[in-house]
Structure 1
């Protein structure tokens, strides 16, 4: 029976990853010099606020083990998405990520968790001006969830080391941070204000 739960969690996460990736790619502008012809449909896909901010409808997830596995995997997807977000996103990139976050919250398969996350989003709207801003925001809201669950808080200054985008030739740089670029991505570095 536990194997079936793992398969269910994997299937749900694969579906979310597919939907999220499809949604982000749909709104992403074509990079210069790319061979990608863009979306084939001529009809624009418009997502209004009623859809983005609608109430989560999933039922409560009773299985605590499955709920924890789903939560851990979902945070990995969100943090990795932020780590892969462009350093200098276009307006479309930023809008797509905001939409993705709100849809992720609305469609999350644990209704109780989804409604709680929607409350957090209302208090702390997605910040998507840059990759660092998005990563810091995601870490902050993750800690808001951790507070409510009475879990340890994560040191957000280390988020770049913990959720590496996989863009660099080797893992996270130790010691003095240096910028590496590959395929237009710089290694994630968070800045502290004050």
Structure 2
């Protein structure tokens, strides 16, 4: 009989502990949910980047990352990086503003310091000093990046890529408003062609 009382008391204690813990955990999570759904007011961070006031040493310094010893990881990182960079410049505006040009140029220089392979970053900065980024248009940026990529391919004894096909090879498939505008323009061109009987070249 005494044994049964201990068992009953133990079960009762476990049940009480379970419900107590559940109550306390559910109480704190409801406050978290309320906090998540609060509308965002003013940004909490006072951090703002002034590209004009950025010291040159920030853009021209040494690599932050150490040498990456693992050749497999280095190759994987390189492929992913080139895919990202080519896709980024493929989405760059055809006629960028001064601010957009400065943003891309600053990104490229900062990227050359932050790249997680220290040796690769050092080589890339060497290329940047010889061949500064071209940011006057999407085509200029894409052509420049393809040229720099081929400089790396040449150093690594890899095949040289035909830069004339760069737009086809690195299409991100994001949908392009310029293409939509171009399609409307082509329809307008077809109407114009039908009126005059001549083919209008774009």
The alignment's TM-score, normalised by the length of structure 2, stands at: 0.62
Q: Distance in 1 between matches of 2:147 and 2:113?
A: 19
Q: 1:55 & 1:134 partners in 2: Cα distance?
A: 24
Which residue is equivalent to 1:160? Answer: 167
Give runs of aligned pairs for residues 94-109 of structure 1, distance below 5 A.
94-109=101-116
Structure 2 CA distance for aligned equivalents of residues 71 and 162 of structure 1: 16
Q: Distance in 2 between matches of 1:118 and 1:43?
A: 26
Tell which has more relative contact order, 1 or 2 (C-alpha 8 A, sep 6+): 1
Runs of 4+ in 1 over 2 A off after TM superposition: 40-48, 165-169
Pair member with larger Rg? 2
Distance 1:129 1:165, change over 3 A: farther
Matched pairs, number:
136
* More helix, by proportion: 2
Inter-partner Cα distance in structure 2 for 1:74 and 1:42: 27
Aligned position for 2:97: 90
Aligned residue number for residue 138 of structure 2: 131
Listed one character per residue, the Cα deviations across residues 34-58 of structure 1 (whole Å, up to 9, x for unaligned) are: xxxxxx8585534221101111132
Q: What is the CA–CA distance in structure 2 between the aligned matches of 1:70 and 1:135, rounded to whole Å?
A: 20
Aligned partners of 2:48, 2:171: CA distance in 1, in Å? 36
SS of alignment partner, residue 150 of structure 1: coil
Tell me the TM-score normalised to structure 1 length.
0.65
Distance in 2 between residues matched to 1:139 and 1:44, nearest whole Å: 29
* Equivalent residue runs for 1:25-174 within 5 Å: 41=46, 43-45=48-50, 46-168=53-175
Which blocks of at least 5 consecutive residues in structure 2 are unaligned?
Answer: 1-44, 182-202
Query: Do the aligned partners of residues 137 and 42 (structure 1) sit closer, same or farther apart at CA in structure 2, a change above 3 Å counting?
Result: same
Q: CA-to-partner distance for each residue in 1:65-102, whole Å, 9 max, x for gaps?
A: 00000000000111011001011110000000000001
RMSD: 2.2
